[in-house]
Amino acid sequence: MTAAQRSYLQTLCRDTGEQFDESLSKAEASKRIDELRERSPRLSQE
C-alpha cells in the first residue's frame, strides 16, 4: 500500500475500531478503505 493509503487506513481503523493490517497490497488497501468509509462515523455525517 502507499503511504497515503496507510495513513488513511490507520485513521479509518481507529474510527471504526477495526484492526489495521500493514500487509495489504495497494488493491487490497483500496478495497478496505471503501469498506471502512461506509462504516466510519466521521464520514457518515457528510
Q: Could you give the CA distance from residue 1 to residue 10 in angstroms, rounded to a whole number?
A: 12
- 8 A C-beta contact, residue 18 and residue 43: no
pLDDT in tens, 2-45: 999 999 999 999 999 999 999 999 999 999 999 999 988 877 65
The radius of gyration computed from the CA coordinates of the chain, to the nearest angstrom, equals: 10
In this prediction the pTM is: 0.84
Q: Which of 13, 2, 1 is nearest to 42 (CA)?
A: 13
According to the model, what pLDDT value does residue 32 have? 98
Q: Can you read off the three cell numbers belonging to residue 15? A: 474510527
Count how many domains the chain has: 1
| 45 vs 1 pLDDT, higher one | 1
Which residue range forms the structural domain that includes residue 40? Answer: 3-44
According to the model, what pLDDT value does residue 45 have? 59
